[in-house]
Amino acid sequence: MRTIRSGGEHELQIKKSRFICALARVGGEEEARAFIAGRRRLHWNATHNCTAYVLGAEGEVQRSSDDGEPSGTAGAPMLEVLRHRGITDTAAVVTRYFGGVKLGAGGLIRAYGSAVAAALDEVGVLERRALAVVTVSADYQIAGRLESGLRDSAYRVQDVRYGADVDFDVAVADSALLGFGAWLAEATGGKAHYEVSGSTTVEVDPAAE
């Protein structure tokens, strides 16, 4: 799944009507409803404030509203854009100020879908990836060099704990575990070991890879 990099808004003008799409990252239905209510208060005099949101690790919660537009011409196409792009934990509100030219059902579907798509392109998206968490234990003599090497590598240091030894929690893709083991053995001369201790989800900018 993916989510938006940050909240934001983008405006399209189609046959004299203004379509303003606002997006927000939301952690649950209460946050989604609060965001929608805020946009409706802000644009209280708009012709329509149509909405869609997707929530959950697998996008299992999905809601939409046409807010007075013909049934299926606003909320549904907005929701479909979010679903098609694999977006979750995101709420979208498209505010329409009618410009005097009717668009017809097909035109409305294209307009509302295009408004959400353009806003997603504007704010950018992040991919969510499930990674294994491995705990690396090393003695203090090599811990400083190991930490420097980890932070300069492609692996993600999640936590560092100091006790009898130094323990590093490191996020590693399942497919990269064997490679990580080889990297660790080379970096420490075989003086550190690791074990899989859990899992985590990280957000990655696919454009930066």
Mean pLDDT of the 132-151 span: 93
Q: Is the pLDDT of residue 131 over 70?
A: yes
pLDDT at position 154: 84
pLDDT (tens digit per residue) in 155-198? 889 999 999 999 999 999 888 899 999 999 999 999 988 999 99
Which residues of the chain form beta strands (DSSP E)?
2-4, 8-14, 17-25, 48-55, 61-65, 90-97, 125-138, 156-162, 166-172, 193-204
Q: Could you tell me the domains of the chain?
A: 2-123 (3.30.230.30), 129-208 (3.30.70.240)
The model's pLDDT over 69-121, given as tens digits with 9 standing for 90+, comes to 999 999 999 999 999 999 999 999 999 999 999 999 999 999 999 999 999 99
pLDDT (0 to 100) of residue 202: 83
pLDDT for res 56: 93
Measure the CA dihedral 199/83/124/49, to 10°: -130
**Helix, strand, coil percentages for the chain (3-state, nearest 5):** 35, 40, 25
Of the listed ranges 116-125, 140-149, 195-204, the least confidently predicted one is 195-204
Residues in CB range of 153: below 8 A, 6 or more apart: 183
pLDDT at 134 over 60: yes
H runs (alpha helix) in 43-95: 75-84
Rg of the Cα atoms in the chain:
23
Residue 193: per-residue pLDDT = 86
d(CA 167, CA 163): 8
Residue 207 has pLDDT above 90, yes or no: no
pLDDT tens digits for range 19-39: 999 999 999 999 999 999 999
In the three-class reduction of DSSP (H, G, I as helix; E, B as strand; rest coil), residue 115 is classed as helix
pTM, to two decimals:
0.79
- pLDDT at res. 208: 65
What mean pLDDT, rounded, does the chain reach? 94
pLDDT of residue 204: 82
Model pLDDT, residue 82: 97
